[in-house]
Amino acid sequence: MIQLLTTALLIMGTQTFNSQDSRLDWWRDARFGMFIHWGLYAVPAGAWEEKGTGHAEWIRTTAQIPLETYDKFIDEFNPVNFNADQWCEMASDAGMGYIVITSKHHDGFCLFESQHTDFDIMSTPFKRDIMKELADAAPRHEVKMCWYHSIMDWHHPDYLPRRGWEKDRSSEGADMDRFRKYLHAQVTELLSNYGPIGVMWFDGEWEATWKGEYGKELYKLCRTLQPEVIVNNRLGARGGMSGLTGMEGYAGGYGGDYMTPEQEIPDAVDKGIDWETCMTMNDRWGYNAVDKNFKSTTDLLQKLSDIVSKNGNFLLNVGPKVDGTFPEESIQRLSEIGDWMDINGEAIHGTFGSPFSELPWGRATQKFHGDDTTLYLHVFDWPEDQKLHVPNLSGTIKSARVLGQKGNINAEVKDGEVVIDVPSGKPNDHIGVIALEVIGRPIVFEVPEISAQTQQFVHDATVTIGVRSPELEIRYAILNEPSESNVLVPNLRYTSPFEIDGTCIVVAQSFYQGKPVSKSSLKKFEKVTPKQAANITNVIKGTLDMKVFEGEWDELPNFNLLQPSSSKSVDKITSKPEAESQGRQFMGYVQANQSNMYVFSLTSDDGSRLYIDDVLIIDNDGLHGPIQKEGAVALAKGWHPIRVEWFNKTGGAALQVQMGEIGHPLQEISTNDIATR
């Protein structure tokens, strides 16, 4: 993400969230949507012979079911109890503004009638176009219909790679270009035959056979077919399950309109970025008959409040049963969420994120009405003494009320905080919400945030200081010695980013009406000498040495103690897409074209590490899905030793290294910038 934010993007008092793109306005207002994972995998319901009961929508590959066996599920998929109106009504009653359903998951089965395959709903005993029925029902319940569509396809003969365990399924004659035509043809059906679609939610883009340029083509196709459709970021290099990287112009990937963290809520999200957390109610996306580990309604609602307080959306998953009904646990939670939303939905829908960096008892959202503001306080921990203290808040309070209760309650500004007299007893079992009507914008006495792209630099660095409340004045000082910060009061008025060209400490403090109202923040910036380039000549450009190791690991082994199964020269740092129980070590040199700071990114599934000049720059070790991490190092012009180590245990494999001079986009390392001797 871009770290050099302008002051305007740090101010929460105005709408700065890509507001020029009105396509996303309905989606931002909705804040809450339903995810539905449904397909042939509902037939085995998570269990397969000796492979156990821990499977779901990935069962074909996690249980290693041969294609001809899996295809027989099509004869058992007959959801006679499916009712599109009931599904849409449950979403609407829960306060959800949109539904995203799997038109096709990775197994390749389509829940819609497609003219380009027989592996679809019309080949089942059901023989009804589920997507058509949902698209027709959605407007009746004021929800937007959206499609999830997998790029990965384990069924189509042209999709590559094959799964690593599919030893008998030949890839001879497979053609990814032909598969892309098939993919485009199905996307064309989905955006031509079902009326206006809110979101095209892609997935399965992480394998090496899918390239960033393909994502651009797919995005263009969607916007051509339906100019108002929103497209998520899983079209290119998303940067892992965190989903907060991969936007166009960053990390060399192509990311569509918004970011998609999965099964997690980011601790902090840069302002100006649209994002959506997708999450399961229990442990799995698709239906698993024995998975009863459901999150409580209180937990789900607190997650919703947390996400919306950070300007995100919450896409909450349901995995329907094979008969077309939702699990009872999901129905119960949707109903209880709906009861809470009936009273407190105004604190979710159409709101912006919190003006506070943190609150000790809950979260906050806000709405703007001309010059004035409604500040919604989501109180997780209701005060037993009936006094709610809102720290570091000032401004003029017009009124306060508890949502769902009649009359106003007392709220006063006292000594840099607002104290609210609340009723005894929490208004509901989950989250009590208090609405504060504020003249103008809330004034939050927060500590200024000092930032630069990196804290080390070679030539100079641009420093930005920001707070959310525009009424605050920021004063700062530039110190040469840490001891000075104990006696010096910041006296320079911050108005715009500034340059530093030497090692220093920047101190900043918030002032209001001429008085200090926050603690000081402090950040050290260091001017460094670039690492000296290697004294080598006669390099062989465009090659690296790669050693391959076979083994089962949960973390990176010491490859120097192992015997490689093979070795060869390669022209890029990458994994073998279908590789399982394999490790790789890449060694050679990387070129710095001039002396400066360089940022590296390392994306891998599973673990990896990157070393420059034998110094660890990025540690991305462990068992995990595709995750991207970054590191920076100062390099003198010339060649520098590089070593990348990677392993994959089971499942999808991924490895990518990117590099960029400070202030420039990251790109995959060019063959002109790698070498061996």
For the ranges 266-270, 274-278, 330-334, the lowest mean pLDDT is seen at 266-270
Other beta carbons within 10 Å of 21 = 12
> Residue ranges of the domains in the chain?
26-346, 362-443, 449-527, 540-676
For domain 449-527, give the CATH number.
Answer: 2.60.40.10
Name the residue with higher pLDDT: 237 or 637: 637
Please tell me the CATH code under which domain 540-676 is placed: 2.60.120.260
Which has the minimum average pLDDT: 186-200, 227-241, 380-394?
227-241
- pLDDT of 298 strictly over 90: yes
Strands 275-280 and 312-318 come out as parallel
The least confident of 392-406, 434-448, 482-496 is: 482-496
User: What is the SS3 assignment for 109?
Assistant: coil
Burial class of residue 501 (count of CB atoms within 10 Å of its CB; 0-12, 13-18, 19+): exposed
In CATH terms, 362-443 corresponds, of 3.40.50.300, 3.40.1260.10, 2.60.40.1180, 3.40.50.720, to 2.60.40.1180
Does domain 26-346 match CATH 3.20.20.80?
Answer: yes
Angle at 322 (CA atoms; ends 317, 327), nearest 5 degrees: 45
CA dist list (Å): 146 to 98, 131, 158, 162, 197: 7, 10, 27, 29, 5
User: Residue 460 CB: number of other CB atoms within 10 A?
Assistant: 12
Confidence of residue 34 (pLDDT cuts 50, 70, 90): very high
pLDDT score at 242: 52
Whether the per-residue pLDDT at 551 is higher than 60: the answer is yes
On the CB side of 144, CA atoms within 13 Å amount to 23
- Predicted model pTM: 0.84
Return the amino acid letter for 399. S
Q: Which residues pair with 200 in a beta bridge?
A: 147, 231
- For residue 143, the tally of other CB atoms under 10 A from its CB is 24
For residue range 567-590, what is the model confidence (pLDDT) as tens digits? 999 999 987 766 778 999 999 999
Sign of CA dihedral 237, 238, 242, 247: positive
- Is the distance from CB of 626 to CB of 241 less than 8 angstroms? yes
User: Are both 26-346 and 362-443 of the same fold?
Assistant: no
Task: Write the pLDDT tens digit of every residue in 307-342.
Answer: 999 999 999 999 999 999 999 999 999 999 999 999
